[in-house]
Amino acid sequence: MRLSPVLRAGALVAALALAVTACGGKSQQAAAGGDSLVDRAKAANKLTIGIKFDQPGIGLKTGDSYTGFDIDVADYVAKKMGVDPKNITFKQAPSAQREDLIAQGDVDLVIASYTINDNRKQKVSFAGPYFVAGQDLLVKADNTAITGPDSLNGKKLCSVSGSTSAQTVKTKWANDVSLQQYGGYSECITGLLNGTIDAITTDNIILQGYASQPANVGKLKVVGKTFTSEPYGIGFKKGDTKTQQALDSYIQNMEQDGSWAAALKKNFGADFKVPDQPAITEK
């Protein structure tokens, strides 16, 4: 077939676009059809969700299986979106990469102990909150010097880059403490156990997850004086209001039908005091 130069150029562009779509292997955001993730996910019956891989109780990868409260939330909302949880591809979403993973279309949703705040809302949209945590401190079980945020002067703290926890330390105690930042909280645990750092700081339920690990029982303790409010949201591409409204209603369903309380007890222990359900706030 003979094509004019203009048509030939057009055909080349179309072929390239097809090739990019075909080999992209990207999340639903990059797939064709529909403006809103809820529509595209339902049509394709698949979702790519960013979670934590190293936070017991919240998001943990063990071999090929994924467990934690965030995974239960992911499974629940996926089902409501018309996606079989078996068709979820979980990707690791370290704290510092969550906005970029969403913006670049590498994941459809981030459900990863992800605090809703104004800074992040400039780049991504949130549904929720589906839980409200608070920043706390994890120390060695025999530590009597650190009793709360007022006893950190001169101490060595560990937290994670790109987290609100590290940001709080930098904002409040820049001159009083030395802050070691890693890519994930599990990396801080080694330092705490071998004494190179004095405390780990992040959300109370993350810290409780580490303290409850069989290997750490009796060795570590959560101080138990929270000093921030960390409302966890589900992050997705900025401006997708249809997805936001849908996810907000699915979170409410999860709270109302008992699955939410059941997921909290399953992941944090039968004794976990299920808090009041967080109100879905204006976003």
Residue ranges in contact with ligand GLU by CB under 6 A: 95, 112-115, 160, 163-165, 202-203, 206, 230
Q: Which is nearer to ligand GLU, 163 or 244 (CB)?
A: 163
Query: Which residue is associated with the tokens 């090739």?
Result: 19
Q: How far is the CB of 182 from ligand GLU (least distance, A)?
A: 11
Judged by beta carbon, residue 53 or residue 76, the one nearer ligand GLU is 53
Nearest of 91, 80, 82 to residue 25 by alpha carbon: 91
**CB 227, min distance to ligand GLU, A:** 13
Phi and psi at residue 45, to the nearest 5°: 55, 45
Min dist. Cβ of residue 21 to ligand GLU (A): 32
Angle between helices 185-194 and 204-211 (to 10 degrees): 60
- Name the residue nearer to ligand GLU (CB basis): 203 or 248: 203
In the complex, minimum distance from the CB of residue 237 to ligand GLU, in angstroms, rounded to a whole number: 18
Of 41 and 263, which has the nearer Cβ to ligand GLU?
263
Rounded to a whole number of angstroms, the minimum distance from the CB of residue 267 to ligand GLU is 15
β-partners of residue 51 are: 92
Residue nearest to ligand GLU (CB): 163
Tokens found for residue 42: 């339902």
Between 198 and 230, CB nearer to ligand GLU: 230
Cα 93 from Cα 131, distance rounded (Å): 18
Alpha-carbon Rg of the chain, whole angstroms?
21
Q: Quick check: 40 and 22 in contact, CB under 8 A? A: no
Q: Where are the beta strands (DSSP E) in the chain?
A: 47-51, 54-55, 59-62, 65-67, 88-92, 109-110, 124-133, 135-140, 156-160, 178-182, 199-203, 220-222, 230-237
Within 8 A by CB and 6+ apart from 44, the residues are: 28, 31
- Choice between 36 and 202, CB closer to ligand GLU: 202
- Beta carbon nearer to ligand GLU, 47 or 58: 58
**For 65, which DSSP code?**
E
CB of 160 to ligand GLU, least distance (A): 5
Write down the least CB distance from residue 115 to ligand GLU, Å.
4
